[in-house]
Each structure stands twice: as structure tokens, then as C-alpha cells.
Amino acid sequence: MDTWIIRAARLGDDLVDLTVAEGRIAAIAPAGTLAAAEARTLEAHGARVLPSLIDAHAHLREPGFEYKEDIASGLAAALAGGFGQVMAMANTNPVNDSAAVTAFMLERARASHPSGPFLRPIGALTKGLAGTELAPAGELAAAGCVALSNDGKPVVSTELLRRAMEYAADLGLVVIDHCEDPTLGAGGVMNEGALSGRLGLKGIPTVTEAIQVARDVLLASYLHIPIHIAHVSCRESVEVLAQAKAKGVPVTAETCPHYLLWDEGMVDGYRTAAKVNPPLRTKDDVLALRQAVRTKVIDLLATDHAPHADHEKDAPFAEAPFGISGLDTALSLTTLLIAQGELSWDDAIRLWAKAPARTFRLPFSPLTPGAPANFILWDEETLWTVSRQTMRSKSTNTPALGMELPGQVLAHVLGGQLLFQRQPSPWPIS
């Protein structure tokens, strides 16, 4: 096991040295005060040390859609993007609704990334995601699934959702719900409003989401069983969640960097890279979401990493698939929000690591002596251009493509091992 000393890293407001030994953080002290004989040295040059992040919502596409992404490429993007754990949705082919598929996915993850990042599969809530029968949740939990979801396909039957929540609760699993009324705005391709009216594109109203959020909140309240709301996109949903949280309803929620940074204007000109479900909304919704992540009405951030091949997105707007690739850019977009004064670094750590760990009962390693050494060094100053060359995901479907963004992972340490460092390496390792 390697022994490391990391010099001059920023921890909160302080400049510190960290030593890592036997997979754990051994000591943290003011910069320049630690001596570690026979340790390898990393000069952080003031880069920020952050806990390794958790993505609670990603589509890694394997099995079945390896031309978009596979588990190896998705985890490589995660590693370079700062994520040590990735929760993968079940809408693969075959669907992850059996232990065999879960085991296959975990095996693929171990094969390419034996020391992490770690795949945390999410089991299908219903067989084949068809929304008619419960998937074998006990079997899925035993095989390693950490949550259950029908993501991508809303659960139409409220009776079935209720039973799924009850059954999952016995197993200690949380249900993640993709809130979308199945009829209101069905067939829509972007936010409903003046812009959709002008572009002649069918709109998806905000209430398509908020009505289902309200349903879920009422169910969670009635059953006293937690539910987690995926990718919240609009003010109305935030208002429903705020009210529910004030009453102590066991509901948690996530949103994604793209909803905090961009509004529907990004699709003007029929830009399919910005086509995502739920759709990018208005500036007012962006403001409501920013407020909600600060005030903990929305608990956590997730990427909803949804890679698609170029030839799929290269189509007239209505025909292109929904989804934005997110693992490569998530922390840079968060850094942008911090630079704009919308979030603090403490918020970022809470939203990207502490809250997802708490919500889904995953390990979280604090930056304290004795804790497992799972952290990244984040160089928040360096600018990089998002491109096919700089992204590690197989797919480049993001409105950020071509943008210059702040922040890069200099190093990613998991279990005390240096699994990733930016190339060319900024450090001569001594």
C-alpha cells in the first residue's frame, strides 16, 4: 500500500499537507509542517482537496447500448470527473431487473476499474420497466442494487408505485421516481412556453412534472416511506417539495447542473444537444432551483448522465433522443456556479457527496485523519475546453461542447491509491 504526502492542498480556507498511509488519511496539518519519510510526494500547488463525489443518477448504457457508452468508459469519465461512486439506472437492454444483469454490470465494473470508481446499480422498479409488475427487489438488493427506479418511464399506476415503495422499504431501498405525467404534454420535446410556440415544437408543461411530484409527496406522507424525486426542473416542483419538507414528509430530491445553469433558450435554433427530459425551463425556474439547492429543499445534485451517439443527436429536433452527457463536466459546471456566487464549496460537498451518501446509504469518507483516503485534488483555476478529445465519455452530447469551463481533477485517490492524475502530470513524483 502506497504512502503519500500531499503538500499545499486547500482544505476549506486553509493550506494543508495530508499524509496517506494504509488506504487512510493519516494526518492533516498546516502546510509545511508535516514530514513523512519514505513517502511519495504530490505537490498540490494550492489545489482544493474535496471528498470523492457520488453521482446518484447516471445512464452507463451497458448492457445493450455500448455504442453510446459502456461501463468502462462511463467509469473512466467518472474517475476523471471526480466521482468515486456512480449509481447506474436500469434502462439497459436487457433491463436491470434481475440479479443476473446486476451481477454482469458489477463484473464489468470490476474488470475495468477494480479499485474504483465503484458502480452502484439501481434496480428496475418494475419488470422490464413496463410499469405493470414489481421487479424482484429482494433479488436485486441481494445482488448489489442500492435503489430502485423506473427512470425514463414514469410509473403510471399509483397503486403499483405505492406497493413498490412499501416492498422496497422492507429491504431498506429508496425508490427514485422520474416524475412525468404520462398524458399531460405527451409527445412534447421541449419546455412549453413562448419559445416552443415560436419554434413550432410540442411543449412539455412544468406541471407535467409537478403534478407527479405532488402525487409522490402525498404518497410518502401517507405511507411514512421515503421517496426520492429525480431531476427536478421547475419552480412548481420546488414549491411542492418546500411545502412537503416543512411538514416533515420523508422526501428527498435531486436536480442536475444543466438545470441550474441553462434555460430553454439553449434549444433555440433547434439545438439537439440541449434536448433533455425534463426539458430546460425558463430563467425563473433556474432561479428557483438555485435557491432550492442552497436552502436544502433540493437535497443533492446528480448528473443524469445520458450519453447518445452523434448520429442519434444529428437529427431534426423532434426526432433526436433526450439526454445530456454529464460526468465529464459536472464539477466544472458546479465550479462555475460557485464562481458566480450561487453556491459555496460546502454546498458542493453536501450536494455531491454527503447528501447522496446519506440518502442511499452509501459510504462517505470525510476529510479527517483515520477516514478512508477517498478524495480528489481539484484545480479550480485551470480552464479547459470541452471537446471530443477532452471528454472521456464515448458521447459528447452536451451544450457545454466547445465551451471553456473552469476546474480540472489533478488527482483522484480512492482507497489510498492514486487512480487518476491529469496528464501531462503536473508533478514529478518523487
Helices (H), 247-313: 257-261, 283-294, 310-313
Residue pair 234/206 in contact by the 8 Å Cβ criterion:
yes
# residues near another protein by CB under 8 A: 20
Helices (H), 295-371: 310-313, 330-339, 345-349, 355-360
Give me the least distance between CB of 201 and another protein, in Å please. Answer: 5
Give me the least distance between CB of 197 and another protein, in Å please. Answer: 4
Residue pair 238/254 in contact by the 8 Å Cβ criterion:
no
The rounded distance, in Å, linking the Cα atoms of 83 and 81 is 6
Q: Does 318 bind another protein (CB under 8 A)?
A: yes
The rounded distance, in Å, linking the Cα atoms of 50 and 332 is 13
Residue pair 353/362 in contact by the 8 Å Cβ criterion:
no
State the helix-helix crossing angle for 206-223 and 158-170, rounded to 10 degrees.
50
Q: What dihedral do alpha carbons 7, 379, 51, 88 form, nearest 10°?
A: -140
For residue 328, the 8-state DSSP code is T
* CB closer to another protein, 270 vs 384: 270
Residue pair 27/9 in contact by the 8 Å Cβ criterion:
no
Candidates 104, 118, 262, 317; binder of another protein (CB under 8 A) is 317
Contact letters (x/-) for another protein, 259-298, by CB under 8 A?
A: ----------xx----------------------------
Candidates 315, 339, 383, 429; binder of another protein (CB under 8 A) is 315
Contact letters (x/-) for another protein, 185-204, by CB under 8 A?
A: -------xxxxxxxxxx-x-
* CB closer to another protein, 189 vs 413: 189
Give me the least distance between CB of 265 and another protein, in Å please. Answer: 13
Q: Does 339 bind another protein (CB under 8 A)?
A: no
Angstrom distances, CA of residue 57 to CA of 119, 143, 194, 213, 319: 11, 19, 30, 18, 24
* CB closer to another protein, 84 vs 203: 203
The rounded distance, in Å, linking the Cα atoms of 323 and 68 is 11
User: Among 211-219, 289-297, 309-317, 378-386, which window interacts with another protein (CB under 8 A)?
Assistant: 309-317
Q: Does 171 bind another protein (CB under 8 A)?
A: no
Give me the least distance between CB of 191 and another protein, in Å please. Answer: 10
In three-state secondary structure terms, 204 is strand
Give me the least distance between CB of 312 and another protein, in Å please. Answer: 9
User: Among 61-69, 316-324, 338-346, 347-355, which window interacts with another protein (CB under 8 A)?
Assistant: 316-324
Which segments of 61-215 are extended strands (E)? Answer: 83-88, 118-124, 147-149, 174-177, 190-191, 203-204
C-alpha grid cell for residue 411? 488527482
* CB closer to another protein, 228 vs 235: 235
Residue pair 320/276 in contact by the 8 Å Cβ criterion:
no
Candidates 319, 346, 381, 404; binder of another protein (CB under 8 A) is 319
Angstrom distances, CA of residue 380 to CA of 274, 345, 353: 25, 11, 18
The rounded distance, in Å, linking the Cα atoms of 33 and 29 is 6
Contact letters (x/-) for another protein, 199-238, by CB under 8 A?
A: xxx-x-----------------------------------
Residue pair 355/300 in contact by the 8 Å Cβ criterion:
yes
* CB closer to another protein, 172 vs 311: 311
* CB closer to another protein, 187 vs 248: 187
User: Among 132-140, 244-252, 312-320, 348-356, which window interacts with another protein (CB under 8 A)?
Assistant: 312-320
User: Among 36-44, 214-222, 313-321, 397-405, which window interacts with another protein (CB under 8 A)?
Assistant: 313-321
* CB closer to another protein, 121 vs 185: 185
- As a whole number of Å, the CA-based R_g of the chain is 21
Angstrom distances, CA of residue 125 to CA of 186, 193, 232: 22, 33, 19
Give me the least distance between CB of 150 and another protein, in Å please. Answer: 26
Active site residues: 304
Give me the least distance between CB of 281 and another protein, in Å please. Answer: 13
* CB closer to another protein, 329 vs 397: 397
Give me the least distance between CB of 182 and another protein, in Å please. Answer: 14
Residue 218 phi/psi, 5-degree rounding, is -65, -40
Q: Which residues bind another protein (CB under 8 A)?
A: 192-201, 203, 269-270, 311, 314-319
